[in-house]
A and B are shown apart, each in its own frame.
Chain A
Amino acid sequence: MSDASTRQRIPDEAFRHMQRLFIERTHPLYLRFDRDMKLEDWWGDSDYYGFEPLHVGDDADSKVDFLVGVTAQDELELPIVQTPNGQPVSIHVRPEDTGLCVLILDAASEHERQTEIQQKSNEVQLLSKKQQMLMEELKATQIEVDRKRREAEAANRLKSEFISSMSHEFRTPLTSVLGYTEILENTLQNERSQLEKLGAISRGAKHLLSLIENLLDHGRLEDGAIVMQVRPTDLNALLADLRAIFTPLAEKKGLEFSIQTSGLPADRVLLDDMRYRQVLINLVGNAVKFTETGSVVARVHWDNGQLRNEVADTGPGIPEAARERVFLAFQRVNEDQESGAGLGLAISQRIVRIMGGQLVLESSGDEGSEFGFTIDAPIAPDDGDHDPASNREGTVVTASALGHTVLLAEDDDDIAQLVELVLEDAGYRLVRARNGREAVDKALLEKPDLMLMDMNMPVVNGIEAVRELRASGFSSPVIALTASASAAYRESAIAAGCSDYLVKPVDLATLLSTIAEAIADTA
């Protein structure tokens, strides 16, 4: 569309309005120079831009400094230039037939917009730099935190190693003292006074040994090296044992001691009985130890697979200031406390946590304390006729044993003879292998219902043998028998294909119940 046609289409009134708006907003200053760049004419407010008063015949470059060097033939567009009074303007220079036309327009709003854009861009750059700096600081902080964590872990490891190595150092001579005491007790059976003295030595040494075992337990729990050995457990029998242990001690101090049970199932439940017993012995032992008058009550309630335990006493209670640290290692409630390393509650708390619970100091005041925890204890799968009492003696004959074959892979004749006797007595048919190679060959030939596999065997070790068997499609349960109690070794054995893991020396009743369950599971 041409300028003329545009002009024709816009009514005069509208066009004049546009002119007014344009002039108000842009303050146009029109200058016309002749061919020699002498000012011929101008239109507009030159004062607005701070120019000196204009006169016809003025030289262009003497009045308007941005026209220095500009000739009458030049065509120029200068987007943002500052006039003498600092006003931002845009300059438009156009040659004409008789000279040069210069149009100066107010560019304050454009300048403001561009400045704003520039500021925003600067701000973005600044923020970006700040972000970079913060990222670098964060990275440095992370490195520092990592370093401090590593240092703390190393210090903790050193501490644990120190405790562990010292405990081992103490344990050796103590084991020796206990061993020789046992031997002397056996040889001096008729010499009462000497036996009493030996009894005192034995009690002292056993006390020291239990402290050391606590230290070692603490270290192992910290390392995660303790593995829960969940097995069918007769709660009634376990609590009867606990009652038998503590009743004489409580009576000696004139305390009332009771174990109150509710909802206990007749069936066995699945839990690590050794560790559960350890926690109860610790809690009840502490209660009896620190209570001088009154009573100690242990309450055990089972409901739908959950085992709730509470131990309450009428002892001196735990001062408020000490309540938060009762579960911390090496912390005693009172510095004048009789004995102990201050590890019992810390160990119990860790065990309860591994069992999926939380040991809590429910209440404590002037009239005693109450500790409580709840753990999972689901009903154990039924393995046929079961007599808990005979199980404790290791002489149970289960219906599931009859007619079942167990392959025992064990290079040690002493262990093999004992296991053979116990299993045959329980009704199993036994096949023996003396090394890993023989174990694989006999397993594939005899197809036993279960294998007991020593892990440390000549020719082919237990883990390799299990791997080979599983690769050959052997599907019967394989129970690892090993002297290594580490969690890592257990994981390797399970990863190789073992169904369960027993640590030597293994309790014969546990061995029988584990075998029976494994066979029942495959039935």
Chain B
Amino acid sequence: MSQNKLDEIRKKYQSSLQSKADELEQCWRSAESSFFSENTVATLRGRVHNLGGSAGMYGYDTVAASAKRVESQLSGGPEDSASWRKQVKEDVQQLVTLLRDEATIVS
């Protein structure tokens, strides 16, 4: 395989991590401000689902594991409990932080 091409798309993926973190944060805010409407939760779930698949394939195993964790919490649909909201919020924030940290590492 062409290592240069591979390095290139890996770099491209890394450079997209910052915007992925921003999008994720935006999705979370939308979900929170809509009191976790089904649509906003589905959008959020879609983002973390894609992230769980792609991050793992690019070697970001920690990010992938964190995304899968958030996805599994969201997969049962929004719950009307403060502890659920608190837990998901913490996990989303952790995922966002991980993405931003990975985005800033100079390879």
Contact = CB atoms under 8 A, between A and B. Distances in A.
A179 B66 contact: yes
B62 A414 contact: no
A414 B54 contact: yes
Given A483-B49, A505-B56, A421 B65 contact: no
Interface in B36-89: 46, 49-50, 52-58, 62-66, 68-69, 71-72
Interface string A393-428: 111000000000000000110110110011001100
B62 A415 contact: no
A71 B11 CA distance: 127
A168 interface: yes
User: Which of B1, B9, B13, B71 has most A Cβ within 10 Å?
Assistant: B1
Given A171-B69, A179-B98, A425 B53 contact: no
A122 to B, nearest CB: 64
Contact of B55 (A178, A180, A505): A505
Given A176-B94, A183-B105, A504-B52, A421 B69 contact: no
Contacts of A414: 13, 16, 50, 54, 57-58
Interface residues of A, number: 31
Contacts of B69: 168, 171-172, 175
Interface residue SS majority, chain B: helix
A415 B49 CA distance: 12
A425 B9 contact: no
B106 to A, nearest CB: 8
B57 A178 contact: no
B1 A421 contact: yes
A187 B106 CA distance: 8
Contacts of B68: 483
A20 B102 CA distance: 122
A182 interface: yes
Interface of B: 1-2, 5-6, 9, 12-13, 16, 46, 49-50, 52-58, 62-66, 68-69, 71-72, 91, 94, 98, 101-102, 105
25 contacts: A171-B69, A172-B69, A172-B91, A172-B94, A175-B62, A176-B62, A179-B62, A179-B63, A180-B101, A393-B1, A395-B1, A414-B13, A414-B54, A414-B58, A415-B50, A415-B53, A418-B13, A421-B5, A421-B6, A421-B9, A483-B49, A483-B52, A504-B52, A505-B53, A505-B55
